[in-house]
Amino acid sequence: MDEIYHVSNCSCGCNETEKSGDRRSFLKQASALGLGLAFGTKVASGVTQDPHTLSEIKKSSAVKSGKAQHFTLLHTSDIHAQLDIHDEFFLENGKPVYKKRGGMASLKTMIQTLKAENPLNTLVIDGGDCFQGGGVAALSEGKAIVPLMNNIGYDLMLPGNWEVVYGKEMMLRDLGAYNGAKICANMFHDTQDELKGDMIFPPYWTTRVAGIKIGFIGYNDPLTPKRQSPAYSSGIHFTDPSVNAAKYVKILRDYEQCAMVFMVTHMGLAQQVDLANKPYVEGVDYILGADTHERVRKPIEGKYAKVTEPGAFGSFVAKLDIVVENGIVKEHHYNLMDVDPEIYKPDPEMLSLVETAKAPYRKELETVIGTSKTTLVRYYVMENPMDNLITDALMWKLKPDIALSNGFRFCPPLVPDPKTGMATITNDYLWSMLPVNSEAKWAQVTGSQLKEWLEKELENVFAKDPTKRFGGWVVRFKGMEVNFTADKPKGQRVNWIKIKGKKLEAMEQGLRGPQLYSVIACDREGDPVDTLCRIEKVQNPKLLGINLHDIVREYLKKFSPVAPKIEGRIHCTDKPITLLSQLEGYDYDFV
């Protein structure tokens, strides 16, 4: 397979915000001349999605006759350093079901098996958030994960929003150690040196497969510095895809003459579907998305591109097969496949590498810190048992009026053993629950501040403009009840807030001045001193000298076995408490 790496310095003179009128005209002319399928698959006939991808490819008359080839894209994302086989959440008949999935060794076996079906024309792609989210990754600052990914043999990698967690310098070292190509068209050096303004990674990559040339453009979430502790992104400037997407599509289509163009993105499903409807992505065939851990089992049709997302934690692989005949794209077949260790037996070489990665940290990470009688799960958009456990611990230890936990969606579920009725919680699992061991921070806020903050947090999840949505999950809490309507306009979603059983307005009545409520949350490195969990201008803020991991360990030591569950801390009038995705209005369900 020939591989060509390209870094563009915009020498073609294209304006960053250039519209794609010339390119559209070119594509129309090419179609009229009988070249349409070679330069743009939007007009392709016979496009199918079938769960039995391989068998359908073999049934293709063009492939059977030997006239056609096909190429395969295998796509993972949001592995979050989950090294071992783990419990995974599914819905069957509307009810949660848990099955064993994932593990780096099973993932390798699966990818190697799928590559063997089409060895000369298969590319393996990862969409980011790989070397953060587990104990080995955190304690090695991502370094221990790199040999594992290299052993699988990825061809192309995209940095995700959590790749910045150890700082820019460590991100560059970890990503630089990957053997595969790295791309990202919207991350720039923001430093006072000769690198200022330069792209951190090449914006795109091209290669030849099955007799055609294809290209990939990369985009990380431009909201990364707001979603996470600002210090993580120090020295990095992010831009929106609208700034330069049309330019790079034009370069790949018109000048590189790619028969297909793919965007590899880490922006969340709602943002990615919105992107697929923007005119500046015309000429893109697929947006291979990531970030919100969604499981797209049938490509979502946007106006200009199709969108996929391959789940999380190494539990799934998205497989896209494209049939090509005489340089013309004929068929598409897509399938989201489980990494089932019963089918794909763990690879011995990878098992050895995983053990080597764990070795320096084994004693600490395997230490049992507690047990749970209920399943710890975090997939729900609004309230979940895992964050209820964390906020229970904060409330017990520090006794504020309100305890907060950021709206993460990481961490696979942990299911009680059917024989003992208990789930064993280790330090390693604690790192998956709380992948950044932050210091606890205390402050006071007024009722009006609290309501204004909640409105902003709900806007981050349910904004009508998908580009304004963060990762997709409501901040979690203990010490108050909240009732809201998701589909109301910005700033008008909160119907009522109760603290200590009384509505906020009732608690405020008769006071000469605003009542202050104490709040505990994690300190976000790089935030202003008077900001707490995105609540601005708090009063009397102070760091408490104790980190979240130690608080949870103390709580589990005293109260195990715990039994956290969804208990109605938040109420939504127009969506179920079991809501699993913020994307609505499309043919998509999280299952």
Read out DSSP for 311-343? -STT-EEEEEEEEEETTEEEEEEEEEEE--TTT
What does each C-alpha distance from 525 to 228, 230, 260, 291, 438 come to in angstroms? 9, 6, 42, 22, 8
Provide the token pair at 461.
Answer: 């999840």
What does each C-alpha distance from 249 to 43, 186, 275, 309, 542 come to in angstroms? 17, 14, 13, 21, 49
pLDDT of residue 228: 85
**What residues contact 157, with CB distance under 8 A and at least 6 apart?**
125, 126, 128, 130, 149, 175, 178, 180, 181, 182, 183
pLDDT of residue 28: 37
- DSSP-assigned letter for residue 414: B
Q: What's the gap between Cα 388 and its chain centre?
A: 22
How far is 187 from 175, CA to CA, in rounded Å?
14
Pick from 469, 438, 425, 472: nearest CA to 581? 472
Architecture in CATH of 367-572 = Alpha-Beta Complex (3.90)
- Counting Cβ atoms within 10 Å, is residue 422 exposed (0-12), middle (13-18) or buried (19+)? middle
pLDDT of residue 459: 95
Read out DSSP for 9-44? --TT---TT--SHHHHHHHHHHHHTT-HHHH-GGG-
Provide the token pair at 174.
Answer: 């970890």
pLDDT of residue 510: 67
How far is 212 from 206, CA to CA, in rounded Å?
11
**CB neighbourhood size of 169 (10 A):** 10
Provide the token pair at 344.
Answer: 């794909």
**What residues contact 352, with CB distance under 8 A and at least 6 apart?**
none
SS3 398: helix
pLDDT tens for 328-355 read 999 999 999 999 999 999 999 999 999 9
**What residues contact 308, with CB distance under 8 A and at least 6 apart?**
75, 286, 287, 288, 289, 296, 299, 300, 318, 320, 334, 336
Strands annotated E in 435-568: 439-446, 476-478, 480-484, 494-499, 502-503, 516-522, 531-532, 535-536, 539-547
**What residues contact 27, with CB distance under 8 A and at least 6 apart?**
36, 39, 40, 42, 253, 283
pLDDT of residue 574: 96
Provide the token pair at 157.
Answer: 């990698």
**What residues contact 396, with CB distance under 8 A and at least 6 apart?**
555, 558, 559
Count of CA atoms in the C-beta half-sphere (13 A) of 33: 10
The domain segmentation of the chain, as residue ranges, is 3-8+16-330+343-351, 367-572
Architecture in CATH of 3-8+16-330+343-351 = 4-Layer Sandwich (3.60)
SS3 149: helix
pLDDT tens for 169-224 read 999 999 999 999 999 999 999 998 899 999 999 999 999 999 999 999 999 999 99
SS3 content of the chain, % helix, strand, coil (to 5): 30, 25, 45
pLDDT tens for 503-514 read 988 777 766 668
What does each C-alpha distance from 227 to 79, 265, 303 come to in angstroms? 19, 16, 28
How far is 474 from 489, CA to CA, in rounded Å?
16
pTM above 0.95, yes or no: no
Return per-residue pLDDT of the chain as tens, 591 residues.
Answer: 333 333 333 333 333 333 334 444 433 333 333 333 333 333 233 333 344 455 566 666 667 667 789 999 999 999 999 999 999 999 999 899 999 999 999 999 999 999 999 999 999 999 999 999 999 999 999 999 999 999 999 999 999 999 999 999 999 999 999 999 999 999 999 998 899 999 999 999 999 999 999 999 999 999 999 888 899 999 999 999 999 999 999 999 999 999 999 999 999 999 999 999 999 999 999 999 999 999 999 999 999 999 999 999 999 999 999 999 988 999 999 999 999 999 999 999 999 999 999 999 999 999 999 999 999 999 999 999 999 999 999 999 999 999 999 877 789 999 999 999 999 999 999 999 999 999 999 999 999 999 999 999 999 999 998 878 876 789 999 999 999 999 999 999 999 999 989 998 877 776 666 899 999 999 999 999 999 999 999 999 999 999 999 999 999 999 999 999 999 999 999 999 999 998 888 889 888
Q: What's the gap between Cα 477 and its chain centre?
A: 22
How far is 316 from 339, CA to CA, in rounded Å?
5
Provide the token pair at 257.
Answer: 């003459």
